[in-house]
Amino acid sequence: MKKHNFLLVLFSSILFPLALPNELFPYGNWLIGLFSLSPLFIALALTDSFKSAAVIGAVFGALTSLLTNYWLMFFKEFSIWTLGGTTLAYAVFNTLLALFLYGAVKYKPQYRPFLLAICWAVYEYFKSTGFLGYPWGLIAYPVNTVIPMIQFVDITGIWGLSFIMALINSIIAEIILYNFYFKKPHTDINRTIYFKIFNIKTEPVYSSLIFTIILIAAVFSYGYIKIKQNIPFEKKLKVLLVQQNTDSWMFNGERKSILINEKLTRKGIEEGGTKPDIVVWSETSLMHPAVGYGNFFENYPKENPLLPFIRRENTYFLIGAPILLKPEYSKKSKRPLIRAMNAVVLFNPEGNVVKYYGKQHPVPFAESIPFWDVPWVREFFRRFIGIQNVWVMGKSYTIFNLPLRNGSTVKFGTPICFEDAFSPLIRTFVKGGAELLINLTNDSWSKTVSSETQHFVAAKFRSVENKRVLIRSTTAGVTSIIDPWGRELKSIPLFKEGYLSYTVPVYKTKSFTFYTRYGDYFPRILMIILFIFLLCNAAGYAKRKNN
């Protein structure tokens, strides 16, 4: 790799993590996001081979992953697998991505910015999908605070915003190339090509710029219209969210977690005046199973047992807890396989479990490992990795029906942990009848602001896509309530004990949003366009070779 190309890639690898939520800019920086990828695109344009492009992609993927996801080093004792595995994976993914970007950047100048944006948006869709899906670090996230700009994701999903942000970055790269590198033939910048826009002759780079400006103006216009639309609400839910700021994973952590949760719940109810309709504790607030473990919580913790406490408070409790399933026995061994789900459990005022939801999308190779039931696979991970057991995944999208104190009911879905970052999963909850969403999360192990806010920023787009209130109850942050336009209504400071009492409006929606109804059609259209481009490019190459 040439020195100037390496410096460009290094610059982009620093800018991109700075644009995303980080310790310096907790909610990201939209201004840096507008040009954070531009040096990468320029480096690819100045590269003269696929081999060099692949190296550029590997360097960019590895560095951005390390700088963005460094907090994975705190994931228990598995940091070598979490941070190391993620870094290696993104080096490989971005190597493949760079090959497509290199092909796009060498194409005709009138199409180049749009092909780059398409490639990037399709890449982000693929990296956010499936068992290995990880929807962190999307180019759309830096503009999460620009509320008018994010409203149109209720049409395209977040992928439309990824396309526009990548397009802005590619246009900026194109302008720089045009003005500073046009004399170099390998950049393929041609000053003699003109297009007619509004009967005015303009060069390709400026015709693309004009189109992009018009597109952004349309996005902002749509956003301002949506923000001013008054969606009526038909009922209200009084919720008490508790943030204990202690990790139940630690030694004696469950006991400490329960006692702090009980203390904060008592204070919240006393100061709230009237009883809440529901009290929410975060993911894995309980480490012993709430179902399948007898009446353990009738007497635990001994200072203030949980189930008697729930009965005294006489309200519904939504708590993160394991669900113990029937054990399975190996064919070769009489030793049973302990099977449990990472779940959300709804207790009624009598302390009985009404319903539960089991997490369906696991953290790959941490919560779920392929072929775990194969003895040698299980033994390998236990002996060499240190993973003793994995969660069993839930199989259904549970919709909870909560009776309110005024006689009505509210239907809600409960994505667990990073499930609220997955667009298709949240969309399925909403299509199943969820009037609002309650996410229970435990990110306290990360010990960093950036981890908490990266998760929060990813989650807030689900509110806008589906026009539903999202309630987040977390161990250490961000415990908050997000309205259907992506605005933070109220929250608890990060890494602080506290509670949040709020009367949440349940909005009356006559129909689903376009995105809720049709899902991820937009990246699929982009994939078709990209496929047609590759076919045409291959046909053109074959024709030139034959001539």
Question: What distance in Å separates the CA atoms of residue 16 and residue 63, rounded to the nearest whole number?
Answer: 10
Residue 8 predicted with pLDDT over 80 = yes
Is 359 one of the catalytic residues? yes
Pair type for strands 470-474 and 436-441: parallel
Specify which residues 403 forms β-bridges with.
Answer: 409
The predicted structure's pLDDT at residue 199? 44
Judge contact between 208 and 195, C-beta under 8 A. no
Radius of gyration of the chain (CA): 25
Banded model confidence at residue 184, pLDDT cuts 50, 70, 90: very low
Q: How many residues does the chain have?
A: 547
Task: Give every strand in the sheet of 488-491, ordered side by side.
Answer: 400-403, 409-413, 436-441, 470-474, 480-482, 488-491
Q: Is 543 a catalytic residue?
A: no
Reported as a pLDDT band with limits 50, 70 and 90, residue 73 is confident
Contact indicator for 267, 240 with CB cutoff of 8 Å: no
Per the prediction, the chain carries an average pLDDT of 88
Which is the catalytic residue, given 283, 313, 419, 452? 283
Verify cis geometry, omega within 30 degrees of 0, for the bond prior to 478: yes
Query: Regarding predicted confidence, which is higher, 66 or 2?
Result: 66
For residues 483, 484, 487, 488, the Cα torsion angle rounded to the nearest 10 degrees is 30
CB atoms within 10 A of CB 442: 21
Q: How far apart are CA 502 and CA 409, in angstroms?
A: 17
Using the structure block, give the residue that is written with the tokens 């397009």: 167
Percent of the chain with pLDDT over 70: 90
| Largest separation between any pair of C-alpha atoms in the chain | 86
pLDDT at 182 > cutoff 60: no
Q: For residue 354, give the amino acid letter.
A: V
> What is the per-residue pLDDT across 348-386, written as a single tens digit (0 to 9) for each?
999 999 999 999 998 877 777 777 777 777 777 777 666
Catalytic option among 106, 127, 238, 359: 359
Mean pLDDT of 221-235: 91
Annotated active-site residue 23? The verdict is no
Q: Bridge-partner residues for 488, per DSSP?
A: 482
For residues 173-194, give the mean pLDDT: 59
Pairing assessment for the beta strands 480-482 and 470-474 based on DSSP bridges? antiparallel
Q: Supply the pTM of this predicted model.
A: 0.91
Please say if the pLDDT value at position 115 is more than 80: yes
Write down the residue that tokens 């204070």 correspond to: 267
pLDDT in tens, 272-281: 888 999 999 9
* Segment among 82-86, 128-132, 162-166 with least mean pLDDT: 82-86
- What are the C-alpha distances in Å from 310 to residues 244, 358, 499? 17, 22, 17
What is the per-residue pLDDT for 536?
78
Strands (E), 404-485: 409-413, 436-441, 470-474, 480-482
pLDDT of residue 329: 60
Residue 165 neighbours by CB under 8 Å, 6+ apart: 33, 34, 139, 140, 142, 143
Give the three-state DSSP class for 494: coil
Mean pLDDT of all residues in 244-269: 89
**Residue 328: pLDDT above 90?**
no
Is 249 a residue whose pLDDT tops 60?
A: yes
- The separation between the first and the last C-alpha atoms of the chain, rounded to the nearest angstrom, is 33
pLDDT on residue 544: 62
Residue 503: Cβ within 10 Å count: 13
H, E, C per residue of 317-362: EEEEEEEECCCEECCCCCCEECCEEEEEEEECCCCCEEEEEECCCC
| pLDDT for the residue numbered 413 | 97
Select from 193, 143, 183, 187 the least CA-distant residue to 163. 143
What is the torsional sign of CA 52, 58, 61, 67? negative
Looking at residue 286, the DSSP 8-state letter turns out to be -
User: Above 70 in pLDDT, residue 127?
Assistant: yes
CA nearest neighbour of 121 among 145, 107, 101, 102:
101
pLDDT in tens, 422-453: 999 999 999 999 999 999 999 888 889 999 99
Residue 191 has pLDDT above 90, yes or no: no
Q: For residue 125, how many C-alpha atoms fall within 13 Å in the half-sphere facing its CB?
A: 24
